[in-house]
């Protein structure tokens, strides 16, 4: 348990938040396009695959930091 007063890094928090929100906007836009395609095209499997892959990669990279797994510190 922490008993000492902690230093709050406001600038670091703001910068990381900005990155997360940009990723969120991309996810939102891709989800909307995905839904539009699915409800307008007869066989939407192939056209939708890139959107699913892109959304998955955004979550893995921006939120789960997959590229940092094997780097020192890892985050």
* Binding of residue 42 to other proteins (CB under 8 A): no
31 binds other proteins (CB under 8 A): yes
Complete DSSP assignment for 19-71? HHHHHHHHHHHHHHHHHHHHHH-SS-HHHHHHHHHHHHHHIIIIIT-GGGTTS
Cβ contacts of residue 15 below 8 Å, gap of 6+? none
Residue 1 binds other proteins, judged by CB under 8 A: yes
Residue ranges binding other proteins (CB under 8 A):
1-3, 6-10, 12-13, 16-17, 20-21, 23-24, 27-28, 31, 34-35, 38-39, 43-45, 48, 52, 55-56, 59-60, 62-64, 66, 69-70, 72-75
């Amino acid at each position: 348990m922490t008993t000492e007063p902690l230093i709050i890094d406001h600038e670091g928090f703001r910068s990381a938040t900005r990155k997360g929100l940009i990723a969120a906007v991309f996810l939102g836009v891709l989800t909307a396009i995905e839904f539009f395609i699915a409800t307008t095209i007869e066989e939407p499997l192939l056209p939708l695959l890139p959107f699913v892959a892109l959304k998955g990669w955004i979550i893995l990279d921006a939120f789960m930091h997959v590229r940092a797994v094997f780097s020192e510190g890892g985050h």
